[in-house]
Amino acid sequence: MLRFVYTCLLMLAAPFLLASLYKKRPGVPPIGKRWQEHFGISPKVNGHQPLWIHAVSVGETLAVTPLIKALKERYPDLPILLTTTTATGAEQAAKLSDWVEHRYMPLDFPFALRAFIRTQQPRALCIMETELWPNTLAAAKRAGLPVTVLNARLSERSCQRYAKVQPLFNLLAKHLDQVLCQHQDDANRFNQLGVPDSVVQVTGSIKFDLSLPDGLEQASEILRDELGKQRPVWIAASTHSGEDEQVLDAHRQVLSQHPDALLILVPRHPERFDAVEALCMQRGFTTARRTHTQEVLSEPSVYLADTMGEMMLLLGACDVAFVGGSLIGDKVGGHNLLEPAALAKPVLSGPSYFNFTDITTQLLQAGGANIVENSEQLAEAVTRLLSDPQAQSDMGQAAFKVVKNNQGAIQRTLDALAATLTFPQP
């Protein structure tokens, strides 16, 4: 009965969801003729009984990429079906075409999911992080598919919200065969909500097992040469509306001490690229967009990174990294600090990082990250680090050590999957 009510509500919300998915936005690829896939009408993938992995968007797709490559190395004959919900996720998935076939995830309607599963005949469903939908889980179990949550995380805030709708969470949890958690805190929260110990285990965050792309170091050096080898460069990554203003205020203060400093500004959402450029110009900063110029910037300015999937490249070209989503109260809860840490960059974050509490806490305790409360503290921290290369190096190496000490999650995840699923042997 509860799922029936949920489905009715979803049908009422569907037009708005679809309008959001299909709305044309600058920098976002169109879904185009593939819209039917959201209703379960999709071409069958090559191969028998693919492993179905769902990664909702770009971040999840990037995170699961090392696991996909490890699966294909261990089971070269295993077909993998990767679904995403968003077009930007699909664009990222297209880069994995040597290892997976991509389809759009059906909307959470029973008829769409039945059609999708009937066509694809997957052997199991693996969901990245905590993208849990009632009808998806029910349809998978009805089809006899084992369901595993990979890299599962559950913040204290999400746990409290689920607790308020415990019957709905119970509806989700009863269909889960494995919940492979990033950290013990996550496992404790799943247990607190009634998921049994037999289902939950801690395998670690596969995001720690970052696989740096071949040639990344050389490409980052080339970009740094273009931006100015000798000038100080800092990056504000994954910023949100209301945060760009604070970052630009901080940059103005940084320029008072480092007149040739360059800020690489990376808005989180591509539809904001034009608005952020206008903001930079309005604030009086000479601004260059990555897609519009490759010229060396010879004066203090902002380099607007208006591309997708290049974060590691951009981080590799900077001296200090600030990670956004963390200076605008509790609206977002921060973003992952691991990418700059994996490149041995000193990391700064705002005070709101509840989505990545464990990772951020480890970096703080190790001296690889600092918290800044506002634009003034951000400017002070950036200025101090740009003035002290040894402090940069010490802090960056401390961050890198945290990453190295936590690696191994992919192997533990592979072992957990092998213990419960049947894979084709090479």
Examine the pLDDT at 393 and tell me if it is beyond 60: yes
* pLDDT for res 171: 87
Instruction: Return all residues near 136 (Cβ < 8 A) that are at least 6 apart.
Output: 106, 108, 113, 125
Please indicate whether the domains covering 31-209+407-420 and 216-405 agree at the CATH topology level: yes
More confident residue, 156 or 26: 156
| pLDDT class of 16 with cuts at 50, 70, 90 | confident
Query: Is 129 among the catalytic positions?
Result: no
**Number of other CB atoms surrounding residue 43 within 10 Å:** 11
As a whole number of angstroms, the distance between CA 346 and CA 30 comes to 37
Residues listed for the chain: 426
Structure tokens at 182: 């990033």
Q: Per CATH, which fold does 216-405 belong to?
A: Rossmann fold (3.40.50)
Residue 95 carries which DSSP code?
A: G
The percentage of residues in the chain with a pLDDT greater than 70, rounded to a whole number, is 97
Q: Is the dihedral of CA 369, 370, 372, 375 positive or negative?
A: negative
How far is residue 333 from each of residues 94, 175, 350, 355, measured CA to CA in Å?
Answer: 29, 28, 9, 5
Q: Where are the domains of the chain?
A: 31-209+407-420, 216-405
Examine the pLDDT at 311 and tell me if it is beyond 80: yes
Q: Which CATH architecture has domain 31-209+407-420?
A: 3-Layer(aba) Sandwich (3.40)
Q: Where is 124: in which H helix or E strand?
A: strand 124-128
As a whole number of angstroms, the distance between CA 203 and CA 322 comes to 28
List the catalytic residue out of 37, 60, 129, 243: 60
* pLDDT for res 17: 78
Examine the pLDDT at 247 and tell me if it is beyond 60: yes
Tell me the pLDDT of the chain averaged across its residues. 91
Residue 424 corresponds to which amino acid? P
Question: Are 224 and 378 in contact, with CB atoms under 8 Å apart?
Answer: no
Start-to-end C-alpha separation, the chain? 45
Question: Are 26 and 54 in contact, with CB atoms under 8 Å apart?
Answer: no
Tens digits of residue pLDDT in 52-87: 999 988 878 888 999 999 999 999 999 999 999 888
Classify strands 262-267 and 301-304 as parallel, antiparallel or unpaired: parallel
As a whole number of angstroms, the distance between CA 71 and CA 67 comes to 6
Residue 257 corresponds to which amino acid? Q
Mean pLDDT of 226-251: 96
User: 45: closest CA among 105, 119, 108?
Assistant: 119
* pLDDT for res 338: 92
User: What pTM was computed for the model?
Assistant: 0.74
